[in-house]
Structure 1
Amino acid sequence: MASFLPTGKPLVYLITFTCSAGFLNFGYDQGVFAGSLVSHYYLTTFGPNPETPPDASVQGTTSALFDVGGAIGALTVLFIGALLGRRRTIQVGCVLVIVGAILQATSSTFGELIAGRLLSGMGVGIQTTTVPTYLAECTPAASRGAHMATEICIATLGLFLAQWINYSQADSDSKFAFAFPLAFQVIFTVITGLFCFVLPESPRWLVSKGRVEEAENVVIRLLGGGATPETPDVRRTMTEMIEAEELEAKAGAKSRVMQLFTSGPTQNARRVGLAVLVAVGQQATGVNAITYYVPTLLQTYLKVGRQASLLIGGFFSVTSFVFTLPTIVLIDKVGRITLFIIGCALQAICWIVIASLIATAPEGSSAFGGAIVAFIFIFFAAYSTCWLATSWGYGAEILPLNIRSDGLGFAGIWVWFFNFVIVEWTPTAIQNIGYKYYVILAVFNAAMIPVFYLYAPETKGKTLEEMDFYFASTFGGKADLEAVEKRYGAREGGGKEGDEKSSEKEVNEKSSEAEVEVRGG
């Protein structure tokens, strides 16, 4: 680790900034291609001939191939994440994004364009799977949600940049208007890749590789304030991580992949299922039915031209940024599950109203068109506050150390698969079933409310290792309870070195308290 780096909170903030730059790239890529789809160069170059633009299915496939790449990238993390560590894995993603962006920007054939979309998607898939893990493992439990929300808040600036750069080129019919927005993302991708050379590796990953002394040095730097190996917080953190590693090893699976689907003291399969639930839920909200097709939707319902659609679309990114800011404060106060549920309720209402307006709108009514767009803005605000940051951070918080990168990789496959489905189907669905498509999205949101209330535990204020305690004591059997009792006895032993064990009563009390948190937020 570079000796010139700050320590304590400044170092944590620097890690947050680097992770945010990585996620900024995700937000940028989510929005930039919406402008490409309505650019003169795209419409005259990638259709059957210069006079015939690509049809809706071609637009959907071209956009959605980015998500196919994202799924491949998430799958790749299953194989390289635990091997390379958090920083090196992020850097691999950066290289793929840069190559993909350059290939897209310089493309003159459909094959080159989709190859660039795939490579960029792979890179972003690797980044979005690994960056939340790295940040979660380097931030304190009390403010972990705020750091992860800050990361996503800055990521919304990527969407902001994409939409306003697209708007800046709205009057141009040149290839530059197509190429420059796609190539611009290279700047912050390089920033992320370079900072990863000097930042410390995740201490939890180091412990998982048996590099305990290195992990201790990182913990000392992250705590700052003159911390030493004998500082109580350093000893407590190291004890938690080492004991968590030992406890998770009791899962007994023969391979890392099999560990994803076993129970044992840490209830891996249950926790992977929750990570997948949030991954699927993120896409089931319908957010990418808007993000990818804002200009198209505006041209359809407000009958505005390309320039006006890009201008109005640019304000969606402003909405996203502004309404992500409250999450930084709310996420560690009201909790993740409460935000999920509130978001689903508001989003379902928005989709129902949008569907009703579309179904009853008189032909060419600007009033109805304006109302539709207004509720799209409200949806975007609700999603940005309640789901955007929360959904990307929850998986990293809920998974145990030994399978955290693999579990997020597996969950990431589902994120990108359903992203692909939404982006692929949206143009055709709007064309064929109209307002009924938005009714389906409303049903998805409403259905998630009881699921999250009943089955998803709260992670607010808990260390990543304490989640092992919660799952083992709540869902495990007697052997799991004894394993947790043994592990936590050392930490609860009133300052002794670990010979004393907490009683089963104390463990059950902790389980009951955890259950109250799950239901009460």
Structure 2
Amino acid sequence: MASFLPTGKPLVYMITATASAGFTAFGYDQGVFSGTIVSHYFLTTFGKNPETPPDASTIGTTSALFDIGGAAGAILALCVGDLLGRRKTIQVGCVLVVIGAILQATSKTLGQLMAGRIVTGLGVGTQTSTVPTYLAECTPASTRGAHMAIEICFAAMGLFLAQWINYSQSNSNSTFAFAFPLAFQIVFVIFSFIFCAILPESPRWLVTKGRIAEAEEVVIRLLGNGATKDTPEVKSQMLDMIEAEELEERGSVKNRYAQLFTSGPTQNLRRVGLACLVAVGQQATGVNAITYYVPTLLQTYLKLDRHGSLLVGGFFSVVSFIFTLPTIVLIDKLGRINLFVIGCAIQATCWIIIAALIPTAPEGSKAFGGTIVAFIFVFFATYSMCWLATSWCYGAEVLPLRIRAEGLGFAGIWVWFFNFVVVEWTPSAIENIGYKYYIILAVFNVVMIPIFWFLAPETRGKTLEEMDFYFASKYGGEADLAAVEAEHRKRAAVKEKEDNPTETMELSEKGSV
């Protein structure tokens, strides 16, 4: 690790900033294509001819290919994440995003644009399946949620930048107006790539590789304040990490991927299922029915032109950024599950009201159109505050150390697959079933309330190792947990004798008198 780096909180915040840069690209890509598909260059270049713009199916598929790439990126992270480590896997994602952004920005054919969408998605999918793990493993339990919420604030900032850069080009019909927004994301990933090269590796990953001394050094630097290997907190953290690793090892099958689907004392399968549940739930809220199609929705309901729709759409990114800020405080005070449930209740209400207004709106009524858009804003604000950071945080927290990279990659596949489904179907669903589509989204939100309330354990304030101990004690792994603890007590006693042979001999002599 670079010796010139700070220690303690400044180092933790440097890691947070680096991780956040990766998520800035994720937020940016979620929003940038909404402006691309209404640009003059896109409409005149990628249709059948310059006079015939791409149809809804082409737009939906081209947009959604980013999510196919994202799913492939999650698979890539699943395959190489544990081998390369957290930092190098993030760097691989950075390189892929740069290649994909260049392909998109220089596209002259639909095939090249689609290829660029897939490669960019591949890179972003690799990053989003790794960044939460890296951040969760390097931040203290008491403020872990806040650090991960900061990461998502940067994702919201990425969305903000994408939509306002799109707006800045709304009056231009040039190729630059198409290319510049797509290429700009390269700035974020270069920052992330450089700093990943100098920051420390995750101490938890180092423990899984048997590099205990290196892990201890990282823990010391993360704690700061003059901590040494003899500091009680350093000893406690190292002991918990080593015990958790040994607990997960007991009863585990040798194949890393098979471990995702076996239980063992730490209940791997159950915890992978919870991570996937949150991944599916994130998309079932219906958020990407808005994010990808804000200008389209505004043109439909408010009858705005391209310039006006991009202007109003830009305010969605402002709302998203503003409402992610309270999450920094709320996530460690209210907890993850409470935020999920509150979010679902408000989001379902928004979709029901929108579904009720659409079929009853008089033709051309701007009052009804404005009310519909207002509730879309309310939905977006609620999702940003209750779900956006929390959903990315929960999976990294609930998964076991040994399969955290693979488990988050597997959950990421579900995120991107359902993202693809929503993005692919939304244009056709709005066109064919109209308001009924929003009723379906409302039902999804309502169904998730009891599921999360009764099935998902709270992770607030618990160390990642305490989650291992929680699942072991709750689901029949008490004997394995006790055996690991007993073994460490025995090792500690032996080490104490080796370190203090004179004192041990004196005590023995006193006992014999």
Shift of 1:486: 3.4
Shift of 1:326: 0.5
Q: Aligned ranges for residues 1-80 of structure 1 at < 5 Å? A: 1-80=1-80
Alignment partner of 1:363 is 2:363 = yes
Amino acid at match of 2:329: V
SS at match of 1:272: helix
Rounded Cα–Cα distance in structure 1 between residues aligned with 2:337 and 2:457:
7
Cα distance, 1:498–1:424 mapped onto 2, change above 3 Å: farther
Q: Could you say which residue in structure 2 is the equivalent of 1:138?
A: 138
SS at match of 1:331: helix
Shift of 1:449: 0.2
CA contact (8 A) 1:35 1:310 kept: yes
Moved more, 246-255 or 176-185: 246-255
Shift of 1:482: 1.2
Q: Could you say which residue in structure 2 is the equivalent of 1:171?
A: 171
Rounded Cα–Cα distance in structure 1 between residues aligned with 2:251 and 2:257:
12
Cα distance, 1:464–1:490 mapped onto 2, change above 3 Å: farther
Q: Could you say which residue in structure 2 is the equivalent of 1:378?
A: 378
Q: Could you say which residue in structure 1 is the equivalent of 2:483?
A: 486
CA contact (8 A) 1:243 1:487 kept: yes
Shift of 1:497: 3.7
Amino acid at match of 1:340: F
CA contact (8 A) 2:65 2:117 kept: yes
Rounded Cα–Cα distance in structure 1 between residues aligned with 2:137 and 2:93:
19
CA contact (8 A) 1:68 1:121 kept: yes
Q: Aligned ranges for residues 4-403 of structure 1 at < 5 Å? A: 4-403=4-403
Shift of 1:498: 6.7
Shift of 1:128: 0.3
Shift of 1:490: 8.0
Rounded Cα–Cα distance in structure 1 between residues aligned with 2:167 and 2:78:
38
Q: Which ranges of structure 2 fall in alignment gaps of 5 or more residues? A: 495-513
CA contact (8 A) 1:490 1:498 kept: no
Rounded Cα–Cα distance in structure 1 between residues aligned with 2:122 and 2:475:
36
SS at match of 1:465: helix
Rounded Cα–Cα distance in structure 2 between residues aligned with 1:214 and 1:190:
27
Amino acid at match of 1:331: I
Rounded Cα–Cα distance in structure 1 between residues aligned with 2:56 and 2:482:
58
Shift of 1:252: 2.2
Q: After superposition, what is the alpha-carbon deviation per residue over 1:383-425, rounded to whole angstroms, capped at 9, x for unaligned?
A: 0010000000100000000000000000000000000000000
Identity %: 73
Q: Which ranges of structure 1 fall in alignment gaps of 5 or more residues? A: 500-521
SS at match of 2:129: helix
Shift of 1:367: 0.2
Shift of 1:82: 0.2
Shift of 1:489: 5.9
SS at match of 1:402: coil
Rounded Cα–Cα distance in structure 1 between residues aligned with 2:361 and 2:50:
34
Q: Could you say which residue in structure 1 is the equivalent of 2:498?
A: none
SS at match of 2:261: coil
Shift of 1:251: 3.2
Cα distance, 1:182–1:498 mapped onto 2, change above 3 Å: farther
Q: What RMSD in Å do the two structures reach over aligned CA positions? A: 1.3
Shift of 1:485: 2.4
Amino acid at match of 1:484: L
SS at match of 2:262: coil
Amino acid at match of 1:360: T
Q: After superposition, what is the alpha-carbon deviation per residue over 1:2-39, rounded to whole angstroms, capped at 9, x for unaligned?
A: 11100000000000000011100000000000000000
| Matched positions, count | 494
Cα distance, 1:401–1:498 mapped onto 2, change above 3 Å: farther
Rounded Cα–Cα distance in structure 1 between residues aligned with 2:11 and 2:35:
37
SS at match of 1:50: coil
Q: Could you say which residue in structure 2 is the equivalent of 1:475?
A: 475
Q: After superposition, what is the alpha-carbon deviation per residue over 1:416-465, rounded to whole angstroms, capped at 9, x for unaligned?
A: 00000000000000000000000000000000000001100000000000
CA contact (8 A) 2:244 2:469 kept: no
Rounded Cα–Cα distance in structure 2 between residues aligned with 1:151 and 1:263:
31
CA contact (8 A) 1:91 1:193 kept: yes
Q: After superposition, what is the alpha-carbon deviation per residue over 1:246-276, rounded to whole angstroms, capped at 9, x for unaligned?
A: 1111132130010000111100000000000
SS at match of 1:332: helix
Q: Could you say which residue in structure 2 is the equivalent of 1:440?
A: 440
CA contact (8 A) 2:336 2:394 kept: yes
Rounded Cα–Cα distance in structure 1 between residues aligned with 2:493 and 2:194:
42
SS at match of 1:162: helix
Rounded Cα–Cα distance in structure 1 between residues aligned with 2:428 and 2:316:
23
Shift of 1:483: 1.4
Shift of 1:488: 4.6
Amino acid at match of 2:247: L
TM-score of the aligned structures, taking structure 1 as reference length: 0.94
Rounded Cα–Cα distance in structure 2 between residues aligned with 1:380 and 1:484:
43
Q: Could you say which residue in structure 2 is the equivalent of 1:513?
A: none
SS at match of 2:6: coil
SS at match of 1:470: helix
Rounded Cα–Cα distance in structure 2 between residues aligned with 1:438 and 1:424:
15
Runs of 4+ in 1 over 3 A off after TM superposition: 486-491, 496-499
SS at match of 2:257: helix
Shift of 1:142: 0.4
SS at match of 1:256: coil
Amino acid at match of 2:389: A
Q: Could you say which residue in structure 2 is the equivalent of 1:519?
A: none
Rounded Cα–Cα distance in structure 1 between residues aligned with 2:45 and 2:11:
47
Amino acid at match of 1:485: A
Rounded Cα–Cα distance in structure 1 between residues aligned with 2:153 and 2:298:
25
Rounded Cα–Cα distance in structure 2 between residues aligned with 1:40 and 1:171:
9
Q: After superposition, what is the alpha-carbon deviation per residue over 1:155-175, rounded to whole angstroms, capped at 9, x for unaligned?
A: 100000000000000000000
CA contact (8 A) 1:251 1:266 kept: no
Amino acid at match of 1:153: C
Higher-Rg structure is: 2
CA contact (8 A) 1:94 1:190 kept: yes
Shift of 1:487: 3.5
Rounded Cα–Cα distance in structure 1 between residues aligned with 2:75 and 2:103:
22
SS at match of 1:217: helix
Q: After superposition, what is the alpha-carbon deviation per residue over 1:15-73, rounded to whole angstroms, capped at 9, x for unaligned?
A: 00000111000000000000000000000000000000000000000000000000000
